[in-house]
Structure 1
Amino acid sequence: MALASKLAQLQSKATQASQFVAKNGPAYYKQLLEQNKQYIQDPPTIEKCNLLSKQLFYTRLASIPGRCETLSKEVDYVKHMWKNRKELKIEDAGIATLFGLECFAWFCGGEIIGRGFTFTGYHV
């Protein structure tokens, strides 16, 4: 019986959300486009979209050496901190722990998403 009431409650909330989006969606869409009109290409042709896509891809590709250099610096910093771990402050250890937990949480989230939002890996 509890499952049926939860389902009815969920349907009611979904209906409310759908009504809210139907009522406020177009105004939000227009406002969003107006606020970001400097980023909109005119005319929005397929050729222009393809050009922008290629520009984004190759710009990101060109940024890889800089990202690798930054990563190398970060790894060197971590190595230095590890060598001098006796001098490590509790704040630094706390920040490192929180960073590790955040990475683990992102990993777990990615795993769940990769399995189709299931926790066991089994889905119907």
Structure 2
Amino acid sequence: MAALGSKLAQLQSKACEATRFAAKHGCAYHKTLMEKNKHYVVDPPTIQKCQELSKQLFYTRLASLPARYESFWKELDSAKLLWKNRSSLKVEDAGVAALFGIELYAWSCLGEIVGRGFTLTGYHV
């Protein structure tokens, strides 16, 4: 139980340190960030304008679904064609495919670790 109290005190100390850092540097960071990206800001920044932009983004993405759907099926047909002609594949092509599969697996593992709160065993205090 003492270890849990120690961890809690350590976590509390780190949270206080992060709060002090944010209080000291947060305003300057925000000002710099907004100055650098002012061309993205809609004037006036009202709630109504934010809701309108949110709807525009949603429906724009919704409108892009048919093209994405078509592109997906083209890619799948291409993969089927490659599989059908796999006997004529070169070693380099097989190597690229294997590396791609390994990369997908690694991203999946990383996502699992992040989802568990950056713990390797799933046990966190």
- Structure 1 length normalisation: TM-score? 0.72
Number of equivalences:
124
CA distance in 2, matches of 1:103, 1:51: 36
What's the offset of the Cα at 1:117?
1.9
Q: Deviations over 1:56-97 (max 9, x none)?
A: 111111111111111111111111011111110122112111
Which stretch of structure 1 is more off in the superposition, 73-82 or 27-36? 27-36
CA distance in 1, matches of 2:100, 2:40: 34
Would you say 1:50 and 2:51 are equivalent positions?
yes
Q: Deviations over 1:91-111 (max 9, x none)?
A: 211211111111111111211
What's the offset of the Cα at 1:37?
2.1
Structure 1 spans left out of the alignment, 5+ residues:
1-16
Percentage of pairs with the same residue: 65
- Structure 2 length normalisation: TM-score? 0.72
Structure 1 residues 100 and 44: alpha-carbon distance in aligned structure 2, compared to 1, 3 A threshold: same
> What is aligned with 1:109?
110
Structure 1 vs Structure 2 CA RMSD: 3.7
> What is aligned with 1:118?
119
Structure 2 spans left out of the alignment, 5+ residues:
1-17
CA distance in 2, matches of 1:113, 1:38: 33
Q: Which amino acid aligns with 1:111?
A: E
What's the offset of the Cα at 1:31?
4.3
